Structure 1
């Protein structure tokens, strides 16, 4: 049994399928082959689609929301010309207030003198001699602190490695007597613990003794059961 493809179907059936597609889908389908392009641009298909749109539009228009529900303050979907003009006027007033507030703000030199703003955030202008905003000062100060912290860590690590290398060289340059002394010291440290383990092992009961006790108690139990 061979599988059916879209091209093997009759044109009437393909038009019935294309009837349920939207315009963007029909355009995408028309780019696949010549036959589908011819069917996608068929006038009869679009006449049927137009009739269906008119019938569905007549059914959906009574269900649309009223204009009052789309306007502010309920919703901002529909804005009238009066609302748009009021918004533009409000934005203009906000800009005017902001510009006036910016003019009344204190200077950077006043903020720096009052310790409100750190000096690292500002730089001195060469022409006017006044403080101007320079936000890169904080970033540069942070980078400088990170570099100093990294240098300090490397210095500590190098000092520790140098001490280890000096200790190794000192041990390698030492004579045989020093090495023997260190080895004997290690043996003295580990000697008592080893002797303690040996004494504990000797105090443990022997295997033959344990086996004899086991047989004794098993025999005693069997005689007790027999007498009972």
Structure 2
């Protein structure tokens, strides 16, 4: 016996698919329309929307008069239905929070005080305030002379890491130049010592030619 192949959803007629889609909620209809192009075309069809509106119009009176419908007090308690009093109270609460926050921000310590208390790094304030304002004034620095742009606390660690790498690069270049100069001076000293003592390529060539000349003279 041969069994008939199972039919898929898209094999059904459009009338049946429209009837199925008309019973879905909006979120389910949206998810279904994203599965295939055919279902998307049916989901945006004006016929389907007229069916859904007609069905909603027939079901809405029964749901409004249902005894399980939440009361107005329940909706207000769940913050679903907002009255004018609720809106005004929310605005007043936001205003009170803004006033309280503004007072706390005005009473908080300045960045200079936080730097002195070691709460913020010194890079978070302009240069004259680092180490104390009076220290900068005693060094002869004005209020704007030598001032640097303050850095955000989140960038201080990154800036210090970059400065350390910059110092390391400078030290590497300095050590390399000093080492090359030292090697060059040592090579020059060794070359001069070999020439003076008689060791080296020039001295060996000279001895070779002297020996060759002496041997040639004795042969004559």
Asked whether the two chains share a fold, i.e. TM above 0.5, the reply is: no
For CA contacts below 8 A with separation 6 or more, give which structure has more relative contact order: 2
Larger Cα-atom Rg = 1
